Structure 1
Amino acid sequence: MYAQHFGLKQAPFSIAPDPRYLYMSERHREALAHLLYGVRGGEGGFVVLTGEIGAGKTTVCRCFLEQIPERCNVAYIFNPKLTVEELLRTICAEFHIAAAHDGPGAATVKDHVDALNEYLLRTHAAGQNCVLIIDEAQNLSADVLEQLRLLTNLETSERKLLQIVLIGQPELRALLARPEMQQLAQRVIARYHLDALGEAETAKYVGHRLSIAGLNGPMPFDRGAVRRIYHHSRGVPRRINLLADRALLGAYAKGSARVDSGIVEAAAKEVFDAPKPAASGGAGLPRAALVGLGLVAGAVLLGAALLAIDRGGRSAAKADIASVASAAPAPAAQAAAPPAAGPLQPAPAEAAPVAAEAPALKDASPAAAPFDLATGFESLLGAENEAWRELAGAWKIDLGSGEPCLAARRHNVQCFRTARSTLALIRQLDRPGVLTLRDAYNRAAYVMLAGLSGDAAIVVVDGAARSVPLLALADYWRGEFATFWRA
């Protein structure tokens, strides 16, 4: 309703978990790194991600699902209030497994476990991994958790066959800390708690979402408004979205291009039923009440007049945003994204390796000489080791001779590879890496990606930074990306 008023292409504060709007704070980067490790490590067992309601757990999970390698089969369960039998039926259904049963009645627990074990062995022989993701896992009963633990016993002589990711509210941590859950807790290979945003991060979060939604003008929220948003939302992204959305609606109803603290207070009263601070001299209360009425009455009156215009332009706006997102984020959105600030915080003792002290992507520099992929592709054929060593140089580690990923382990660094990445996801990870490029004959060439801007990539060729237009890169890059994570 208010998008056109603020020069936006769509409403920026929807509570739907859209990965395009994911603000990758350092906490979110760590959470994503833990999930990626769970798939990449192939060790089986449990990965646990917890966080307050609305902290962004599901959105991180959606981002994670977008870059799972093709060799991974995923079962996703979002309603875990199930019995053991219902859980096993759901897992088999998600993996498209038919449980055979001899005799009368429905398939038993053993029938489902046997069918699942056969499927896991078959996919393992085909070089595939299987991942089970359970959202809202704080609702799991004790007997269901015990059955999940037993599923991690399905293994070969080399490795576990099933990786289980549990995502839930803080109650999940308390649940797993119970004495009777000790055996399951010992199988947790990585865990991470996603905290709320700080005040500075809240301001960046608001700016980031506005930029993704198409904002090119000044920030509509003044500093006082952002402070009140943080105060009422406590830095929880979903609460920020609810409050910021209602505040923009209130400013739109008043015909204002700016959102001040008074509008946010009135919006908070409606959204959270929050008490307003007392106004000096007694004059502020009637004015605030009028603002509160304007949030509803004014929005209805103005909204009715512009509803047809808003509906007519919505489809075109969505198509435009989709096309922009498929190429590269707008420079404004990039500016709003958080920098890779220092090393990641150490994980608990049982946690898995996460990215630490990693170099960040550089901005594309106009000083970099252009590189023509059409004529220079041949020079990159078979250059995988060279690209990895360029990447190692950015990490300030010496791989020496031999296979790069094996050599990297001496420095407590592991390789991560995916065949389904996007430039948007690489920007979110904010890490340089190795791109695999392919020509029309499917020949593989390799180059280190050192930086990105709105329309160009910086790659390293023969030790020198070179610039490649993103449109030219799209002709050769199909999503294969690799990078380092420090253990």
Structure 2
Amino acid sequence: MYAPFFGLRQAPFSIAPDPRYLFMSERHREALAHLLYGLDGGGGFVLLTGEIGAGKTTVCRCFLEQIPANCNVAYIFNPKLTVTELLQAICDEFHVQVPADALTVKDYVDPLNAFLLAQHAAGRNNVLIIDEAQNLSADVLEQLRLLTNLETSERKLLQVVLIGQPELRGMLARPELEQLAQRVIARFHLGALSEAETAQYIRHRLTVAGLTGALPFDRKALRLIHQLTRGVPRRINLLCDRALLGGYAGGQAQVTPAIVRQAAAEVFDAQTATPARKRRRRPDLVGVGLVALAAAVAGAGLTWGWQQQSTSQAARGGKSGEVAMATAASATSAPAGAASAARPAASAASSPAPSASSAAPAPLRLADWAPRDGDAWAALAQRWGLPLPAQADPCGTAAQHGLQCYRSASGSLSLIRLIDRPVLLTLQRPGQPPALAALVGLDGHQATLLVDGTPRRVALAELAGAWRGEFTTFWRVPPGYVGRAGNVMPLRAWLAAQLAHASGAAAPASAAASTPLGWAELSRQIQAFQASQGLQPDGRIGPVTLMQINRATGVAEPRLDAAR
């Protein structure tokens, strides 16, 4: 109902676990990495717990989409079963043939064991995922432990992933389940979002839904949303959805704290809707639901030309591979193992406003500016410490200094936030030729461009009217990289060492040996890293993947400025 009013292609705050909307906070990335690790953990249990609505099932759905083709998966989402019922469900999920008169545990375990042995001989792994695992009884958990006894002399035949609420951890701490607890090879607890992450989460979902202009929530509204929802994604979705409906009903493109409070009163209980003190209902705040109904009838034919134009522009031209997933991923996805070095620009939305004494860049109107390509290239080169003689080919000069140019014809601000580096935007303004502008800073509402060497800020809504997604930047090339080829032999040792460094592990001995890590294993590690960064986990090495590896391992490259 309200999506076209805010320039969106679809409602952004559905509570359905849609992997497209997965917000890759640092916690979510670690949770997904734990599940991916479990695929090759050699058997045993992987444990993922989290508060109600924290995003466990959404992470699981994203995990399911990234499971390699050589894995058989059994997924059980209703585990309130007896031991026999659970075994029957597992056999059904794996398509294991059992005797028609099967009644006992042995009737199910024997054919399941034969199936797992055959799959192991064929080079396939088997993963059992149980959602809402806090509902498992003690005897069912013990049977699961016994299933992990199915093994060869080399490895166990079944990997079990348990996903549940926090009480699952308490269950596994019981003395009678100590043997199972000792078989947990990886565990992770998915907590609530911080105030900054809450703002980033809201911005991310709106961006995925098609938002190209300014965020419809002001800073005070974002802070209040975090207080009312306690950073739980499902509660954030419920509250933001109703608040946007309230803004639409009142014809307000900016959602204020008053609208958020009213929405909270309608979707939460009274105690949750008043976190600090009891608030008196203002007479001018009519119920969001009733006003929305009236507005829907009165304004059914209302359209917003500029919003439809923005939506159609966003829909033109498909993206694939790394860029497609990066665009849909969190706009503030930080690198694994380098959180202290990363400075996601989107977090600026939750930062305090600059003081009056700080030197804020003067605002810029694009219609009043005549950018020059040479100045833009010089500004980008200066950020990289790259000497750029007059009339020189920038990309050719960069190649002489270990850099390459990366160009995208269909990028997005989400992608630029993800790669977190200065870029040259190609501006397209009516009646004027295309021109380059150096973007050096980005926050939730404004971009910072360099104009005659001076940082100037421009509203994202105005920038969207002149930029169609084309940008260029530099990136530092790893040893052995040639063109776009990612399978070159000299790269393997470097990649193995960098990925080990990014994950916090010691570099494998084979990384420095004459025989580098096998490509199959290296490709699996690359896929896990790509998934943790919100990229398409295809195992291929392209510029965006290498940019993120550089960022995760602290390779010296310039970053976007924080909000000024």
TM range (shorter): 0.7 to 0.9
Q: Cα gap change, 1:335/1:182 in structure 2, threshold over 3 Å: closer, same or farther?
A: closer
* 1:299 aligned partner: 292
* 2:10 aligned partner: 10
Measured in 2, the distance between the counterparts of 1:217 and 1:382 equals: 40
* Aligned-pair CA distance for 1:256: 0.3
Residues 336 and 532, structure 2, Cα contact 8 Å, conserved in 1: no
Residues 40 and 416, structure 1, Cα contact 8 Å, conserved in 2: no
User: Structure 1 residue 401 and structure 2 residue 513: aligned?
Assistant: yes
Structure 1: state its 5+ residue gaps: 346-359, 408-413, 438-446, 459-464, 466-487
Count the aligned residue pairs. 409
Measured in 2, the distance between the counterparts of 1:279 and 1:77 equals: 41
* Aligned-pair CA distance for 1:450: 1.2
**Structure 1 residues 107-116 or 333-342, which shifts more?**
333-342
Q: Which residue identity is paired with 1:339?
A: A
Q: Which residue identity is paired with 1:451?
A: M
Tell me, what secondary structure is at the counterpart of 1:405?
Answer: coil
Measured in 2, the distance between the counterparts of 1:73 and 1:330 equals: 25
* 1:389 aligned partner: 494
Measured in 1, the distance between the counterparts of 2:334 and 2:70 equals: 32
Q: How does 1:237-248 map to 2 (within 5 A)?
A: 237-248=233-244
* Aligned-pair CA distance for 1:109: 1.4
Measured in 1, the distance between the counterparts of 2:3 and 2:539 equals: 39
Q: Cα gap change, 1:106/1:363 in structure 2, threshold over 3 Å: closer, same or farther?
A: same
Give the superposed CA RMSD. 4.1
* 2:266 aligned partner: 270
* 1:217 aligned partner: 213
Instruction: Calculate the TM-score normalised by the size of structure 1.
Output: 0.73
* 2:95 aligned partner: 96
Residues 204 and 338, structure 1, Cα contact 8 Å, conserved in 2: no
User: Structure 1 residue 173 and structure 2 residue 169: aligned?
Assistant: yes
Q: Cα gap change, 1:306/1:387 in structure 2, threshold over 3 Å: closer, same or farther?
A: farther
* Aligned-pair CA distance for 1:323: 7.4
* Aligned-pair CA distance for 1:290: 3.9
Q: Cα gap change, 1:239/1:428 in structure 2, threshold over 3 Å: closer, same or farther?
A: same
* 1:152 aligned partner: 148
Tell me, what secondary structure is at the counterpart of 2:270?
Answer: coil
Structure 2: state its 5+ residue gaps: 341-417, 424-471, 551-556, 558-564
Residues 13 and 237, structure 2, Cα contact 8 Å, conserved in 1: yes
Residues 267 and 292, structure 1, Cα contact 8 Å, conserved in 2: no
* 1:475 aligned partner: none
Q: Cα gap change, 1:323/1:142 in structure 2, threshold over 3 Å: closer, same or farther?
A: farther
* 2:524 aligned partner: 417
Q: Cα gap change, 1:251/1:79 in structure 2, threshold over 3 Å: closer, same or farther?
A: same
Q: How does 1:33-432 map to 2 (within 5 A)?
A: 33-41=33-41, 43-100=42-99, 105-275=101-271, 285-287=280-282, 289-293=283-287, 295-305=288-298, 324=318, 326=320, 328-329=323-324, 336-340=331-335, 342-343=337-338, 363=421, 366=472, 368=474, 380=485, 383-390=488-495, 392=497, 395=501, 399-405=511-517, 415=522, 417=524, 425=531, 427-428=533-534
* Aligned-pair CA distance for 1:108: 2.4
Measured in 2, the distance between the counterparts of 1:323 and 1:40 equals: 37
* Aligned-pair CA distance for 1:332: 7.7
Tell me, what secondary structure is at the counterpart of 2:188?
Answer: strand
Q: Identity over the aligned pairs, expressed in percent?
A: 54
Measured in 2, the distance between the counterparts of 1:419 and 1:332 equals: 19
Instruction: Calculate the TM-score normalised by the size of structure 2.
Output: 0.64
Residues 99 and 112, structure 1, Cα contact 8 Å, conserved in 2: yes
Measured in 1, the distance between the counterparts of 2:301 and 2:96 equals: 48
* Aligned-pair CA distance for 1:126: 0.3
Residues 388 and 434, structure 1, Cα contact 8 Å, conserved in 2: no
Tell me, what secondary structure is at the counterpart of 2:524?
Answer: strand
* Aligned-pair CA distance for 1:383: 1.8
Residues 27 and 191, structure 2, Cα contact 8 Å, conserved in 1: yes
* 2:461 aligned partner: none
Residues 333 and 534, structure 2, Cα contact 8 Å, conserved in 1: no
Measured in 2, the distance between the counterparts of 1:229 and 1:403 equals: 54
Measured in 1, the distance between the counterparts of 2:185 and 2:532 equals: 25
**Structure 1 residues 266-275 or 117-126, which shifts more?**
266-275
